[in-house]
A = this chain, B = another copy of it.
Amino acid sequence: VEKDDLALIVSDKPASAAAMFTTNRVQAAPVRLSKQHLKASGGQVKAILINAGNANCATATGDKVALESCRAAAKLLRTQANRVLPASTGVIGVELDGSRIVNALPALARELNAARFPEVARAIMTTDTRPKVSFHSVRLQKGEVRFAGMTKGAGMIMPNMATTLAFLLTDAALTPAQLRPMLKAAADRSFHCLSVDSDTSTNDTAVVLANGASGVTPTPKERQVLQEILCWVMEDLAEQIALDGEGARKLVTICVRGARDSQSANQLARAIANSPLVKTAIAGSDPNWGRVLSAAGNAGVPFDPAKVDIWMQGIQVCKGGLAAPFAEDELKQKLDRRECSIRFSIGGSGKGESRFWTCDLTEDYIRINASYRT
């Protein structure tokens, strides 16, 4: 349920929860409090309370405001404060007025309604241009299980544990201990393969809630299926973030093959994705593969440049580290599309692969960020 820039996600039944938080050394008050609450409640969550526009980070009253907001929500929902997880997103270093949240809560709580899921996704936006949601369901032996996910984020995006804010809900019956490795594995394949501008925020939070409302307790084998579905939902959300990157006009998918292991492949893909020169080349529909090669060379991963092959939009532009002949005009036209792909093979026999999302870097990124705060 949403009201302006405040949102409340409530589970009818108390839900099992697992969460991941930013690895930034500077952590916002709601991140610190969420960690405490998860520990105190043994991973049981009734609600998530989210405000957008103010990160409640580097604030003198931060801890107090976060706690009081949770207490107010808990009172309305007749639960304990530590069953409420707070999350904030927005500007850093500005005091957050807790009374505004507390005063808005009763109206929010009255309007709880599952159909308003997309409105919540809209309420948590900051510089996002559109809400980001993803749904999936699967029929297991004992019945159907559903997943719903939402996320926000457009700038300060290079998730390292999670991104900005992501909330994943399922009605499967799962314990916190079962959820934790599922979330970790899904984040590694989704949000950890995403960068808009190489900045990891102070408020990154990803929470998965499983309230068992479906009545379906999955078998160990079925849990693997659910793990896969959680991953799909999070991949879908991560792609939506890249495509809605601040100022972005294009989603760029980078695939790296032939690395020693998946970590090396991820490092290479990340270096390519974070290169402003690669991102501006894509903005200009310029098949400038030399920048891709140079960016990969800075990843700290050993490889032989003479064995590198590169494709853009499926067209080979570099073969054995040298220019491959291609029709420049044709490729430039293909790079005008909304979805661009870069495939980078380091020519080794390694099984390490990575698929990484980013976006192009345009003048609008500058315009948005040269004036966001004031």
Contacts and interface: CB of A to CB of B under 8 A. Distances in A.
A284 interface: yes
Which size class do A's interface residues fall under?
A: 35 or more
Given A275-B199, A288-B372, A293-B92, A58 B322 contact: yes
Q: Which of A93, A201, A374 has the most CB of B within 10 A?
A: A93
Contact of A371 (B286, B303, B373): B286
A131 to B, nearest CB: 23
Interface in A186-202: 197-202
A291 interface: yes
A59 B362 CA distance: 30
A155 B277 contact: yes
A265 to B, nearest CB: 15
Contact of A280 (B25, B275, B295, B369): B369
A274 B198 contact: yes
A171 B146 CA distance: 77
Contacts of A26: 293-294, 296-297, 305, 321
A361 interface: yes
A290 B93 contact: yes
B290 A24 contact: no
A366 B59 contact: no
Interface in A268-293: 274-277, 280-281, 283-284, 286, 288-291, 293
Number of copies: 2
B298 A199 contact: yes
Given A296-B26, A298-B24, A373 B93 contact: no
B281 A197 contact: no
A25 B305 CA distance: 8
Given A57-B290, A295-B199, A369 B323 contact: no
A68 to B, nearest CB: 19
A94 interface: yes
Contact of A200 (B201, B298, B321): B298
Contact of A25 (B24, B200, B296): B296
Interface of chain A: mostly helix, strand, loop or mixed: loop
A58 B58 CA distance: 47
Contacts of A293: 26, 58, 92-93, 202
Contacts of A182: none
Interface centre among A281, A294, A296 (most CB of B within 10 A): A294
B322 A93 contact: yes
Contact of A276 (B58, B289, B322, B369): B369
A299 B160 CA distance: 12
A25 B343 CA distance: 18
B370 A297 contact: no
Contacts of A373: 281, 286, 288, 290
A156 interface: yes
Contact of A201 (B25, B156, B294, B361): B294
Given A92-B293, A290-B373, A362-B370, 16 more contacts: A25-B305, A26-B294, A26-B296, A27-B297, A58-B318, A58-B321, A60-B322, A94-B323, A199-B294, A199-B295, A202-B293, A276-B365, A280-B369, A281-B373, A284-B370, A362-B366
9 nearest A-B residue pairs (beta carbon): A92-B290, A284-B370, A26-B297, A280-B369, A93-B290, A25-B297, A24-B297, A363-B363, A26-B305
